[in-house]
Amino acid sequence: MVKKVCVFIGSRANYSSIRAAMSAIDKNPSLELQIVVGSSAVLDKYGAVINLIEKDGFNIVRKSYMSIQGETPATMAKSTGLCMMDMSTIFDELKPDYVVVVGDRYEIMAPALAAAYMNIPLVHTMGGEVTGTIDESIRHAVTKLAHIHFPANKESADRIIRLGERQDMVFTVGCPRIDMVKQIMESPFENINQLCELFGGVGYEIDFDKPFLLVSQHPVTTEFVSARKQMAETLQAIEVLDMQTVMLWPNSDAGSDFISKAIRSYREKNPQNKIHLFKNLPMEVYITLMMKTACLIGNSSSGIREGEFIGTPCVNIGSRQAGRERGENVIDVDNDSKQIEDAVRKQISHGQYISKHIYGDGRAGEKIAEILAGLGKIDIQKRITY
Amino acid sequence: MVKKVCVFIGSRANYSSIRAAMSAIDKNPSLELQIVVGSSAVLDKYGAVINLIEKDGFNIVRKSYMSIQGETPATMAKSTGLCMMDMSTIFDELKPDYVVVVGDRYEIMAPALAAAYMNIPLVHTMGGEVTGTIDESIRHAVTKLAHIHFPANKESADRIIRLGERQDMVFTVGCPRIDMVKQIMESPFENINQLCELFGGVGYEIDFDKPFLLVSQHPVTTEFVSARKQMAETLQAIEVLDMQTVMLWPNSDAGSDFISKAIRSYREKNPQNKIHLFKNLPMEVYITLMMKTACLIGNSSSGIREGEFIGTPCVNIGSRQAGRERGENVIDVDNDSKQIEDAVRKQISHGQYISKHIYGDGRAGEKIAEILAGLGKIDIQKRITY
Amino acid sequence: MVKKVCVFIGSRANYSSIRAAMSAIDKNPSLELQIVVGSSAVLDKYGAVINLIEKDGFNIVRKSYMSIQGETPATMAKSTGLCMMDMSTIFDELKPDYVVVVGDRYEIMAPALAAAYMNIPLVHTMGGEVTGTIDESIRHAVTKLAHIHFPANKESADRIIRLGERQDMVFTVGCPRIDMVKQIMESPFENINQLCELFGGVGYEIDFDKPFLLVSQHPVTTEFVSARKQMAETLQAIEVLDMQTVMLWPNSDAGSDFISKAIRSYREKNPQNKIHLFKNLPMEVYITLMMKTACLIGNSSSGIREGEFIGTPCVNIGSRQAGRERGENVIDVDNDSKQIEDAVRKQISHGQYISKHIYGDGRAGEKIAEILAGLGKIDIQKRITY
Amino acid sequence: MVKKVCVFIGSRANYSSIRAAMSAIDKNPSLELQIVVGSSAVLDKYGAVINLIEKDGFNIVRKSYMSIQGETPATMAKSTGLCMMDMSTIFDELKPDYVVVVGDRYEIMAPALAAAYMNIPLVHTMGGEVTGTIDESIRHAVTKLAHIHFPANKESADRIIRLGERQDMVFTVGCPRIDMVKQIMESPFENINQLCELFGGVGYEIDFDKPFLLVSQHPVTTEFVSARKQMAETLQAIEVLDMQTVMLWPNSDAGSDFISKAIRSYREKNPQNKIHLFKNLPMEVYITLMMKTACLIGNSSSGIREGEFIGTPCVNIGSRQAGRERGENVIDVDNDSKQIEDAVRKQISHGQYISKHIYGDGRAGEKIAEILAGLGKIDIQKRITY
């Protein structure tokens, strides 16, 4: 009997973290893939991830418009409630055998809880990690709801087991995002020189034959009032470094509007800046940029995770990635323009690093599909092991 | 500065588990009590707990109608999403310094997540226990979201710490429900002989000067299709025992309609039965019944927890209380009429037990209020300890 | 090109009012039928209309659990909001060419508004009538949102046109409910003597070879506090008349719990009563009962509408059907046991009436399907005609 | 007894249309004002109307975050459902004696329906008018739900009565927006020359001593795909006219993102343009601009309504204001850059017009408060008059 695997995608990060597994599930004759998209992934404003997914040949079966405007912690909570209502209806219609949720963004609580309440085995990838913000609480709470765990590395697997989960339901497969990185590194995006023409965006025309910086900074939920100030520090460092810079708009977390405002206001005041802004870039382009950039700056997990595999010099700012296992390619600094500037100069002179593959060998997706296909009946009744 | 403590009550069990703490918070000059009521606690159908709360002299500041009819796992999830939406609005208006949630019923996820997402320190009582059903997952997930823990006993406290929580935020205070039990045992309900006149209900007129059974059985969420069958087994045992019986209607979990149906159908078919059904009884009456009953039968936690303190002989049926620490007063049996019958006969001949106070000494509420009043600024950023 | 016609069904009355049109749509090669079920029609408690629909061979494409417990005017409004959220998602997925809503119950505002906002031509049947309660406001408001009108009679059609609707979009087709009545009258339900065995229910065993009364009474929304009192008057009249009586449980409007309570309390106090209660009966059974009953009592529209076609002697109580066009078969009385009693006695001595077909000739469903199939592009922009 | 009057405000247009009545209600000793804010009025992105209201000295008692991102017709419907859920809770808490809704924007259906379902007398201002878009349907549907009507002019009052409303519940008071216009005209905003410094915005520095254009264009809901194209026509005309131009960002209707995009893209491509963009301006500033502008261009109702009172030369584009009664100051044109250009040139040479006060004499707010204070018990049961 074919088992239905329902994957929830709520953001572009979600998608790139699970795409390799989705492909493998889709190809596995014992499994049927059901894709449900929600949160910022359905919104044009955040790059219409939904279109990327379809362009990649996947069939989306349901979508949920659930993002309530306001982008305060209260609307984040209200949006999650709304998403949970939608998910209960969707799962009732789709009747999946597994629900898969990725990582730790706020909206994944909605499909996670709906699945758990509806007695559908819950699969969680990228659990057991340690970071800052509310993500830290969400990730471990989802672990306590999930039946099957696919952590990205050994350290995370150990942590999941210490949280009282059954050892036989914890499978260390590596990070599926690395699968795609590996693939892209084998054939990188070719037309990097036509990037601005191809993907629009606004601002300075980058010459990709010369060194450039890459910036990706997101709001830190529990400190959202200072999000604007933090972005201003980063922009100040970039101003001083005076290099051409590719920058991405922030994701849809509480506080993202503040970052966007900081960027807009900076551009109005510094019409001579060398920044080109993109709304969203296909992963293959982003990874290619990571392969070529002089330094990746910001607080995205990509510097730590994909960066380690690629060997990208990276300056990680602030608390957002606190606790996440990292390689030698990362220098951590505070939200301080001087520290940022100094670290970037150090990274530029160092150049590329050599990876130790701490986030997997590039076969995670394949392993996830195989394990799900092979699993017998799941005991829906969880029980802490101590 | 007075700190606002917002307590969420979603069911009658919730209320009796936290009432002693509510009283102590209300009396503490450093604390202001904000009561929010939702789920079955606002519904007449489940005994209008809201009226009890007001009759007890508390002031309710907000209520949420959130129970979506259907009583399937899907509507349970949808209801929780709806409750989460309401809670986000309510907390945004009330701006509490703490949000307190009790235990492990499905709806508490709504205030727990809303508080966590909104950076309000979350207080959890009765965490760290081990039981069956989805409650098991919910309880531990809430632990991973909560900032301050008030477990009922040492064993539970240890479990919370093993789950990676900071030891200095775990306070073993005992169960506040026992505070009230103690108080009631000192002056029990006097007019027990007028019970049927005073509290209505339907069925056989009980003579409380003669031995009687007490039955409280709820649906087991993850097995809801068999809820009706399970109740039929219990009713079969009661039929054979042929004693006068006080029975309570089930709570509002998925499956409760099935239990109600089993009861109604039994009554139609056995017009000569000796059962009197009550919709809901004030705790003082219920505890007095526990002090006097020949045997408490069912799967309510009251037999294990309050029963241990009172010394009530108890027959616990099925998986609902699996894993909960218990004293000598409990005999566990399967959903099987013969096993139930035999165990009840054994308990009747044994009579009252002597308590070892494993769920506290009756001062839990007081301790909770004192600790909340004394706490300094809470670090809203959680971090697993390993 | 085949046009997709999405029909929303929210109650058993809805269903029987549109079933003939559904069959005709389903058979029409130019039309595709999409059935969406919500409100009380998905609930077991109200007779699981959803199962009837499927048993009749229709395919349900979506359902919405939207009934929030509490059954007060506030939860009625909240439920409608919830239904509207669900409908927006459903219509976005189904992309219907028409949305059809029936009559005037509170929940139909949800699909009506969702369709109007989403630029989907809205079809309304049974508009233009005049009654009491909030239904009166809802019906005319839906008329102002609808693009295509199928009133049941000439008088209603005139009223719709006076409301400023385009004359060419108002089609007087008769009431589709009469189509089914006609069909059933040609071959009535045969096993009426086995009714209690076949359809369960509780209470007195009716002998259908002897005269019997038929009672169907619903709460009047804007007077819900007195719903219990009103039902008590009716029960008092029945007590005095001392005839065997078939009674139906009320629908799910605000106040229905009060009526149910009045019935339960009456039965407890009058164990010797001659009432048999059914939760819900298939329309074919109900119509057959209307053909045979000595008198139909209550405030259901069936007495006025179907009753006129069948010729059933009917006593209509209170304000619920005020303003609805009626034939000679109806005697109107207040909520007063004496008035009810007298009117029933008068009807019993009169016996059957002869119909003047004021609600159509039994071909309404067919006409609706033909007109929808034949319509060209609808001008989605409405404009009042004066 | 003081009567509680709850006013719902969902947009900045709503606010300026009812502010005069709010002031009068607030001052009336027989009335208590309860302000509830929702939809775009709570959002920073649309000018944080909520802050204006508080700055004006009003006390906001509740707010509803209800705008679901996506800005398609489907999310507009979903948002309205969400708002309706919130309103049911809010009205249940506030227990108003009247609920007041203004005009015809999509979100007002939420408070209107909630009030009607909850048996609260519904008051509607600015009903009976005729325009394009879905607003046309909404306005008349609200009339059919409302108990008390305050149309802005005689023509609208007649239309309401023809819709079957009781004549004694229709009060022609004029438009409360004109009350404020009158007040502002008596003491206009003084620092108009410092506008850009004071209110920020982006773009060309306007010299207010020289002639300037004023542009306010919103999406037309039922044609939202072409919203971008329509805005491009307007921008093209402005380009050719080559005058300095004050422009406002669009409101939050479905399609507003498309207009914003058209503006952003135009600015990127025409760095030499003479447009200054403001997010939102206080009414006193906007009216002062209307007094001084050479020509108001767009599809805002302000040109027709306030413009008639002020005498502003106005070019009204497209279908959005179709059917609204207008004075001589308006020239209607299609969404065509040439037509727009020609009409603007004609208006510039004409200059100011003289008003005939077709939208009231400036005492509407006062009259509304007096009437509400004086009304006896409202018959909650509506009944069409024919």
CB-CB: which of A87, A117, A137 is closest to B76? A117
CB-CB: which of A65, A70, A202 is closest to D75? A65
The residue among C251, C252, C213 whose CA lies nearest residue C234 is: C213
The residue among B46, B39, B41, B40 whose CA lies nearest residue B19 is: B41
**pLDDT for residue A132:** 82
Q: What average pLDDT does the segment D269-282 reach? A: 90
Contact C172, C149 (CB under 8 A): no
Please identify which residue in the block is written with the tokens 């773009």: D203
CB atoms within 10 A of CB A269: 9
Question: Taking CB atoms and an 8 Å cutoff, what residues of chain C touch B68?
Answer: 65-69, 82
The residue among C94, C191, C147 whose CA lies nearest residue C377 is: C147
B85 to chain C: nearest residue by CA? C82
Question: Taking CB atoms and an 8 Å cutoff, what residues of chain B touch D89?
Answer: 64-65, 86, 89
3-state secondary structure at position A297 = strand
Percent of chain B with pLDDT over 70: 99
User: How many angstroms away from the CA of C127 is the closest CA of chain B?
Assistant: 29
**pLDDT tens column, D143-176:** 999 999 999 999 999 999 999 999 999 999 998 8
**pLDDT for residue D298:** 96
**B65/C68 Cβ within 8 A:** yes
**pLDDT for residue A142:** 98
B120 vs B146: CA distance, rounded Å: 10
Residue A242 is classified by DSSP as T
Contact C305, C321 (CB under 8 A): no
**pLDDT tens column, D322-365:** 878 899 999 999 999 999 999 999 999 999 999 998 888 889 99
> Quick one: tokens of D92?
């249940």
Please identify which residue in the block is written with the tokens 């409100």: C39
Contact B289, B307 (CB under 8 A): no
B89 to chain D: nearest residue by CA? D64
Residue D163 is classified by DSSP as T
Task: Annotate chain B with three-state secondary structure.
Answer: CCEEEEEEECCHHHHHHHHHHHHHHHHCCCEEEEEEEEHHHHCHHHCCHHHHHHHCCCCEEEEECCCECCCCHHHHHHHHHHHHHHHHHHHHHHCCCEEEEECCCHHHHHHHHHHHHCCCCEEEECCCCCCCHHHHHHHHHHHHHCCEEECCCHHHHHHHHHCCCCHHHECCCCCHHHHHHHHHHHCCCCCHHHHHHHHCCEECCCCCCCCCEEEECCCCHHHHHHHHHHHHHHHHHHHHHCCCEEEECCCCCCCHHHHHHHHHHHHHHCCCCCEEEECCCCHHHHHHHHHHCCEEEECCHHHCCHHHHHCCCEEEECCCCCCCCCCCCEEEECCCHHHHHHHHHHHHHHCCCCCCCCCCCCCHHHHHHHHHHHCCCCCCCCCCCC
Residue A210 is classified by DSSP as S
Going by pLDDT thresholds of 50, 70 and 90, the confidence category of residue C344 is: very high
Preferred mutation among D62, D69, D202 to probe A, highest tally of A CBs within 10 A: D69
**B45/C257 Cβ within 8 A:** yes
CB-CB: which of D74, D80, D163 is closest to C113? D80
**Chains with ≥3 Cβ pairs under 8 A against B?**
A, C, D
CB atoms within 10 A of CB B385: 12
CB-CB: which of C70, C202, C257 is closest to B65? C70
D339 vs D317: CA distance, rounded Å: 9
Going by pLDDT thresholds of 50, 70 and 90, the confidence category of residue D279 is: confident
Question: Taking CB atoms and an 8 Å cutoff, what residues of chain D touch A67?
Answer: 68-70
Output the pTM of the full model: 0.82
**pLDDT for residue A225:** 64
Q: What average pLDDT does the segment B341-354 reach? A: 96
D117 vs C78: CA distance, rounded Å: 10
Residue B222 in this model has a pLDDT that exceeds 60: no
Percent of chain A with pLDDT over 70: 99
**pLDDT for residue A200:** 85
**pLDDT for residue C229:** 87
**pLDDT tens column, B166-211:** 999 999 999 888 998 999 999 999 988 888 888 888 899 999 999 9
**B86/D62 Cβ within 8 A:** no
B244 φ/ψ angles, rounded to the nearest 5 degrees = -70, 145
To the nearest whole number, what is the mean pLDDT of chain D? 93
**pLDDT for residue B228:** 83
Residue A136 in this model has a pLDDT that exceeds 80: yes
The residues of B whose Cβ lies within 8 A of any Cβ of D are 62, 64-65, 82, 85-86, 89, 93
Going by pLDDT thresholds of 50, 70 and 90, the confidence category of residue D136 is: very high
Q: What average pLDDT does the segment A187-216 reach? A: 91
The residues of A whose Cβ lies within 8 A of any Cβ of D are 42-45, 65-70, 72, 74-75, 78, 82, 202, 257, 268
Residue D258 in this model has a pLDDT that exceeds 60: yes
User: How many angstroms away from the CA of B28 is the closest CA of chain A?
Assistant: 29
CB-CB: which of D42, D75, D202 is closest to A70? D42
Residue D224 in this model has a pLDDT that exceeds 70: no
CB-CB: which of B89, B119, B384 is closest to A159? B384
Going by pLDDT thresholds of 50, 70 and 90, the confidence category of residue B367 is: very high
**C380/D222 Cβ within 8 A:** yes
> Quick one: tokens of B59?
């002031």
User: How many angstroms away from the CA of D79 is the closest CA of chain B?
Assistant: 13
Residue D372 in this model has a pLDDT that exceeds 90: yes
Distance from CA of residue D380 to its chain's centroid? 29
**pLDDT for residue A112:** 98
Preferred mutation among B84, B145, B325 to probe A, highest tally of A CBs within 10 A: B84
User: How many angstroms away from the CA of D255 is the closest CA of chain C?
Assistant: 13
**pLDDT for residue D222:** 54
Residue A196 in this model has a pLDDT that exceeds 90: no
